[in-house]
Amino acid sequence: MKYKYQIIGGSGFVGSRLISLLDQENCSNLDKQNSPFYKSITKIGDIRHYEQIILDPNCDCVILLAAEHRDDVSPTKLYYDVNVEGTRNVLKKMDELGITKIIFTSSVAIYGLNKKNPSETHKADPFNHYGKSKLLAENEIINWVNKDKKNKSAVIIRPTVIFGERNRGNVYNLLKQISSGKFLMIGRGTNKKSMAYVGNVVAFIKKTANLNQIGYSIYNYVDKPDFSMSDLVNLIERHIKIKVPSFSIPFWIGMIGGHFFDLISIFFKKKLSISSVRVKKFCATTQFNSKKMNLIFKPPYTLEQGLKNTLDYEFLEKNKDDIIFYSE
């Protein structure tokens, strides 16, 4: 049987939503762990090992989602083993089978911290091993295309932080804290955050997978408009019908508290949900330019609707299963 889409890393948060959108009858999935939803189309394989990469030679394109992405991966060599060497292995296997199109999910982490609304042409300046390894993987793909520009095609997608139903990442943790009614704002709440709803991200992946193009393209993925922290709190208050404290903690006091928790973490050798780094990230403005993406794609959900869908599923609905996905 010919599968239109060969997904690699489709057993996780984004991949599960993507297969649901594409229809599993059109998909084959390769992952190092089985899919909680789509076991019948999933083959087990780790892209770090070339011999384990089993692809459908007749597929229209490969969608490479597999990545090592958590902040606390140890040893750090794993970032490069999976994100760089794994990508290299996939491209080699594609050449062996004559597959000429790939969709690759990278990350805005390649831009680094504290950049002002960077577009796709902004200079790369990754600050951590995840961002560095994703940038190296992008370069592998670009070089792969450039060796045969007349036949090969690649789309590199750099999403900002992705949130949605079933995900247990930083956005979920923030929504949970605000929804509890015990949230205290640090700083003025005017700082804005770029976010991406998973339902829109997978729709964009489908869009690019079906584009008829040669060569490579790079797109940031962000759902606009960016919400400020105050906007986010107000939306949650209205939707869940709660009231959070209206006063805020000055940034400098928040940083002192963060450093205090850093010391506790070191003393007890335990990772805590509060730290000086998290306080700094919370109060920073993190925005990315999405004009290029908007030229070819209209998201099926507004950012507000994506947030409401997530709030409904996670905090208002009762009949849920226990399938969840963890990320940073």
Contact call for residues 234 and 190 (beta carbons, < 8 A): no
Give the percent of the chain with pLDDT over 70. Answer: 98
Report CA-CA distances (Å) from 162 to 112, 181, 256. 17, 24, 29
The per-residue pLDDT for 47 is: 98
H/E element, 218 = strand 215-221
Give residue 227's identity as a one-letter amino acid code: F
- Give pLDDT tens digits for 18-63: 999 999 889 999 999 999 999 999 999 999 999 999 999 999 999 9
Residue 71 has pLDDT above 70, yes or no: no
Catalytic residue among 79, 111, 130, 219, which? 130
Higher-confidence residue: 14 or 280?
14
Please state whether beta strands 223-228 and 192-197 pair in parallel, antiparallel, or not at all (unpaired): antiparallel
Residue 72 has pLDDT above 70, yes or no: no
- Give pLDDT tens digits for 106-147: 999 999 988 999 999 999 999 889 999 999 999 999 999 999
Coil, helix or strand at residue 198: helix
Domain borders along the chain are: 5-165+193-224+289-301
Concerning whether 130 is annotated as a catalytic residue, the answer is yes
- Give pLDDT tens digits for 93-105: 999 999 999 999 9
pTM of the entire structure? Answer: 0.94
Q: Up-side HSE of residue 26: CA atoms within 13 Å toward CB?
A: 15
Please state whether beta strands 162-163 and 192-197 pair in parallel, antiparallel, or not at all (unpaired): parallel
The per-residue pLDDT for 238 is: 96
Token pair of 46 as six digits: 């780790």
Average of pLDDT values for 191-218?
96
Class of the CATH domain delimited by 5-165+193-224+289-301: alpha beta
Sort 39 into a burial class: Cβ within 10 Å, 0-12 / 13-18 / 19+. exposed
Q: Which residues contact 285 (CB under 8 A, 6 or more apart)?
A: 191, 192, 193
Residue 309 has pLDDT above 90, yes or no: yes
The per-residue pLDDT for 277 is: 80
The per-residue pLDDT for 273 is: 73
What is the per-residue burial (b if ≥16 Cβ within 10 Å, else e) of 124-137? bebeebbbbbbbbb
Residue 76 has pLDDT above 90, yes or no: no
Please name which of 70, 297, 98, 78 lies closest in space to residue 202, comparing C-alpha atoms. Answer: 297
- Give pLDDT tens digits for 228-276: 999 999 999 999 999 988 889 999 999 999 999 999 999 988 877 788 8
Contact call for residues 120 and 219 (beta carbons, < 8 A): yes
Give the percent of the chain with pLDDT over 90. Answer: 81
Average of pLDDT values for 173-181?
91
Contact call for residues 254 and 185 (beta carbons, < 8 A): no
Q: What mean pLDDT value characterizes the chain?
A: 94
Residue 155 has pLDDT above 80, yes or no: yes
> How far is the C-alpha of 85 from the C-alpha of 68, rounded, in Å?
12
Q: Hey, what long-range contacts does 283-286 have (CB within 8 A, 24 or more apart)?
A: 283/186, 283/187, 283/191, 283/251, 283/254, 284/113, 284/114, 284/191, 285/191, 285/192, 285/193, 286/160, 286/192, 286/193, 286/194
